[in-house]
Amino acid sequence: EPEVTQTPSHQVTQMGQEVILRCVPISNHLYFYWYRQILGQKVEFLVSFYNNEISEKSEIFDDQFSVERPDGSNFTLKIRSTKLEDSAMYFCASSDGRDTPYEQYFGPGTRLTVT
């Protein structure tokens, strides 16, 4: 069964550093998403991406965040200057966008720890 993959599984970084989280969505999917989940809190939408551009973003997704699809398979989330409060689990998801409802399938997540 096809699945979304994410790397790394755990990233530790110092405050102020840049991090790039990587995702490989399911191969025939057209819509891609990033979410975050702070420990003990709910899953929060960050951004959706379609046809090489952002289709929607939340208020969390400020100028320090960016997304990119550098090639036909990878989908990345960059955090330019990490803060302590960016420590969370980051999930990538994808959906095929062909049949409603647009069911999203999640990757295993990257645990980001900012020290």
Judged by the rule CB under 8 A, the positions of this chain that interact with another protein are: 31, 41-45, 48, 50, 55-56, 58, 89, 91, 95, 97, 100-109
**Count of residues in the chain:** 115
Q: Which is nearer to another protein, 18 or 56 (CB)?
A: 56
Beta-bridge partner residues of 74: none
Q: Which is nearer to another protein, 24 or 89 (CB)?
A: 89
DSSP 5: E
Q: How far is the CB of 115 from another protein (least distance, A)?
A: 19
Q: How far is the CB of 16 from another protein (least distance, A)?
A: 27
Q: How far apart are CA 16 and CA 9, in angstroms?
A: 20
Burial class (CB in 10 A: 0-12, 13-18, 19+), 28: exposed
